[in-house]
Structure 1
């Protein structure tokens, strides 16, 4: 009787944790969707893409280290710190590098389309490196997804809203792959590391990469230069403040909460919420125009993820683990 009661309590607790994880992902992805619209407003008129990446990474690193002063978590080993630092320096920074450069050249909706490919990348990585089985249905899904991506890349022309759509779309597709790798590795590391500790070292690594790259490539921040002259463009500063506090700090804080209790593929599928939010806001603000090719590309990628994940029963076994560390 006591054992049965404990089992019910554990089940109830897990349901609560999964609800918390799902709500965390909803909030995180809504903020990420608005992030695309905010970045499109700032880049490149008020802020250079690489400088923007550095500012975000440094702000988040400081914010998470300050948060760590109030939240105590289990100590991490030197090896874990190095792994987290490298994940930030190459994984997270690489994602932001490609992502901000891409969105500065294309439209928010197009960038969100490629962001929606994350579940496909997660599955491909699992097949090639984690020995997950590739079924006919999943192969069809992947083909559809890449067909939709190629349709968007090859048909979108450059105009007043997208100054170099081809390059921007290609960079956004690369960024979605890098973020998929980041999700998979983060999932494994979260088994032994606390959320705040993880983000402290990851953003610390990303901040170091950002400072090095910006120091070599040069700093490009017209809004800061204008402020130095006494001309404050408050809308630009308000948008930057929103991006730093919500999509950068809070959104990245919530993603590991989702990863702790949800499958990596489920977390990746939440990227569709980014697409919905970004599309609605972009069309409302005039940051994008309705395009039938974009609509077809969105439909193809949505159907592809249905084949890859939902039609296969969303895989009855848990996330395929990463190979043991040497």
Structure 2
């Protein structure tokens, strides 16, 4: 398998893992584990894994300098701690399809964060894309559908997911320089350690008091999926693929994730897809496509 096929395989696997999580998490929470209890198990497991992996693979690699250390702490706050708490809290309150659609808002945040932090240019199409994407997200957050009785707090859940997509978009911008400078295990080890300090206090009690003896095998399998695949494998594959994938290719797989999430949620009976959601999805996708377009290079005028 050549490197291009490996990148495609990695990005598709990540999209499939994320897409499946929207439905599988619904089986676990809130009946067996609370959202914050799940976050605690995930973050503690990943922190332990990356600490051991870093020690075995890159024991001499250390984040140095005040700027890089501050950046790594911000990565842990945005990419792990706050990100995970918002995501599972939001997913618990809203439907799988709504959550997956709002997650595609991250590229818009990446463009805005890049403009503020990296002084990248914002063109007119990107401004239009931000507006269109915000309109689609607003309609999705404020709209009510046939699942209103099942998810009475869907509006709050959607806001949490949108906030999650926002902090994760910021994380993607601030983590990139660290990934180019240090070993991935070094960066992820530090990020998960900081994230654990933030997230674990919120779910420690729930994780300790859960009735694990009553968990059927399917629930244990889904918890294992969230710890091993969603937390560890997805982060590893995603960070590896980001070194080789073009922005256009990443955009394709950003669109693919909610499509897979819809197919999985509908096939498992966890959600249903309506024309209203199709319209909201179209607005968000159009916004992401507009902001993902690279500005045309300015050609020098002929003398």
Task: Give the TM-score normalised by the residue count of structure 1.
Answer: 0.82
Q: Residues of 2 paired with 1:273 and 1:156: CA distance?
A: 25
Q: Tell me the residue number matched to 1:189.
A: 178
| Superposition CA RMSD, Å | 2.4
Q: Which moved more, 1:183-192 or 1:153-162?
A: 153-162
Q: In 2, are the aligned partners of 1:91 and 1:179 still within 8 Å (CA)?
A: yes
Question: In the aligned structure 2, how far is the partner of 1:103 from the partner of 1:159?
Answer: 14
Per-residue deviation, 1:139 = 1.6
- CA distance in 2 between counterparts of 1:31 and 1:201 reads 23
Partner of 1:56: 42
Aligned pair count reads: 293
Which one of 182, 192, 201 corresponds to residue 203 of structure 1? Answer: 192
What does the per-residue CA deviation read over 1:92-138, in whole Å, with 9 as the maximum and x for residues that have no partner?
21111111000000011100111011111111222333322222222
**Structure 2 residue aligned with 1:177:** 166
Q: Deviations over 1:24-76 (max 9, x none)?
A: 22211211111121112212111111111111100111122222343236512
Q: Which of residues 277, 282, 285 in structure 2 aligns to 1:302?
A: 285
Pair 273,73 (structure 1): closer, same or farther in 2 beyond 3 Å: farther
Match status 1:214 vs 2:203: yes
- Whether 1:260 aligns to 2:249 is no
Which residue number corresponds to residue 45 of structure 1? 31
Of 115, 134, 138, 1:150 maps to 138
Task: Identify which of 226, 232, 254 aligns with 1:249.
Answer: 232
- Contact 1:119/1:269 (8 A) holds in 2: no
- 1:166 aligns to 2:155 (yes or no): yes
Structure 2 residue ranges without an equivalent (≥5): 298-303
Specify the SS of the correspondent of 2:226.
helix
**Quick check: 1:236 aligned with 2:224?**
no
CA gap of 1:259–1:181, structure 2 versus 1, over 3 A, is same
Q: Within 1, Cα distance between the matches of 2:179 and 2:111? A: 20
Alpha-carbon separation, structure 2, partners of 1:26 and 1:271: 10
Aligned residue for 1:278? 261
1:135 & 1:86 partners in 2: Cα distance?
A: 28
Q: Partner residue of 1:96?
A: 84
2-structure distance, mates of 1:116, 1:305: 7
Structure 1, unmatched stretches of 5+, are 1-15, 318-326
In the superposition, relative to structure 1, how do residues 306 and 91 fare at CA in structure 2: closer, same or farther (>3 Å)?
A: closer
Superposed displacement of residue 285, structure 1: 1.0
Structure 1 window deviating more from structure 2 (289-298 vs 131-140): it is 131-140
> Paired residue for 1:29?
15
- Is the 1:105–1:162 Cα contact (8 Å) retained in structure 2? yes
